[in-house]
């Protein structure tokens, strides 16, 4: 890896080159030493963008809402980065790119950068490279970054470890009037959007969400998540959502919540990276090349000869022994 190549690419990204940003994101998705070096070089240039996570159930219209919010942000003079985390193709492992189709009218706008990223098996609605990708967009000077989760259900709470503001999208008529009550989604929302509000039952969904929010414990000066009806396909209610995002950003800055949220994001990110490094180290040291062709600890677990807990402890012990040996 040539450090000169990393430095040159980093400089181009900071200068706002979309070609360089696209290349850097490809590095990030591939991982490895050059991606880590690029992220390290660009990290001091981050921290300026407003990061908004958009999550919700499949079919709730997240992509259409992201497109509509991007158009409003552009009309207000903001540059926009969109990170759409798509399901992985079962054949190539790449992103399916469904969101790019819905946002095709944004691709000619030089103030909008769109990137689809495959989950590649990551749980929680986000890909493992999402945080690094957001950093690169931030360093490139994009003022508003919209992160759309994959939409795998109501378990996409990883977005709260990445975004400053979280928008949870619900729609009436998908089996539960208040889908957001499941798996903690209600609690993570900073803004609730009831999309497709032209449908029957939308008023009831809005009313029930507002009623449920009153039952959650909150400090006297805490932010109260607004519940906003919208029809993203008709561009109705989008200005109110954009205003709510601005209001939440202002609240975070004046209350100190923004720094607290950033600290939580950093802590979760560092711990996740540490977990991945530990796992890689354990496997590399405990299951080295000399064990090829022989029954390993993992084989014993597969044969039900060893419990997973016992195997994990044995792997850690082997890794620690080789590290000190």
Q: pLDDT digits over 23-57, tens only?
A: 999 999 888 899 999 999 999 999 999 999 998 87
**CATH of the domain spanning 46-255, picked from 3.40.50.1820, 1.20.1250.20, 3.40.50.300, 3.20.20.70:** 3.40.50.300
Residue 166 has a CB neighbour count (10 Å cut-off) of: 26
Q: What is the pTM of this model?
A: 0.85
pLDDT tens digits along 139-169: 999 999 999 986 644 445 577 788 999 999 9
Q: What percentage of residues in the chain have a pLDDT greater than 90?
A: 50
Q: Which value, in Å, is the radius of gyration of the alpha carbons in the chain?
A: 22
Kind and range of the H or E run holding 19: helix 18-30
**The tokens of 184 are what?**
């903690």
More reliable by pLDDT, 191 or 170: 191
Evaluate whether 85 touches 119 at the Cβ level (below 8 Å): yes
């Amino acid at each position: 890896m040539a450090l000169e190549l990393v430095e040159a690419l980093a400089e181009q990204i900071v200068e706002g080159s979309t070609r360089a940003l696209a290349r850097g994101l490809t590095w990030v998705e591939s991982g490895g030493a050059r991606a880590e070096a690029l992220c390290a070089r660009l990290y001091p240039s981050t921290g300026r963008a407003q990061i908004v996570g958009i999550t919700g159930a499949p079919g709730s219209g997240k992509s259409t809402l992201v497109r509509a919010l991007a158009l409003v942000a552009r009309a207000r003079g903001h540059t926009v980065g969109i990170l759409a985390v798509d399901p992985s193709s079962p054949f190539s492992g790449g992103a399916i790119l469904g969101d790019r189709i819905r946002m095709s009218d944004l691709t000619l706008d030089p103030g909008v950068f769109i990137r689809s990223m495959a989950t590649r098996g990551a749980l929680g609605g986000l890909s493992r490279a999402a945080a690094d990708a957001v950093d690169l967009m931030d360093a490139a000077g994009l003022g508003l970054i919209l992160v759309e989760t994959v939409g795998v259900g109501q378990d996409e709470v990883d977005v709260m470890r990445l975004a400053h503001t979280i928008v949870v999208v619900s729609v009436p008529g998908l089996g539960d009037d208040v889908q957001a009550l499941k798996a903690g989604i209600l609690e993570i929302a900073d803004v609730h959007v009831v999309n497709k509000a032209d449908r029957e039952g939308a008023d009831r969904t809005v009313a029930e969400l507002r009623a449920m929010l009153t039952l959650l414990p909150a400090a006297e000066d805490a932010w109260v998540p607004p519940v906003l009806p919208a029809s993203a396909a008709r561009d109705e209610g989008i200005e109110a959502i954009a205003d709510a995002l601005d209001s939440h950003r202002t609240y975070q800055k004046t209350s100190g919540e923004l720094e607290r949220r950033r600290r939580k994001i950093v802590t979760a990110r560092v711990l996740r990276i540490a977990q991945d490094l530990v796992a890689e180290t354990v496997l590399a040291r405990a299951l080295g090349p000399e064990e090829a062709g022989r029954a390993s600890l993992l084989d014993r677990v597969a044969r039900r000869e060893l419990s997973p807990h016992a195997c994990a402890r044995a792997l850690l012990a082997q890794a620690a022994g080789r590290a000190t040996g």
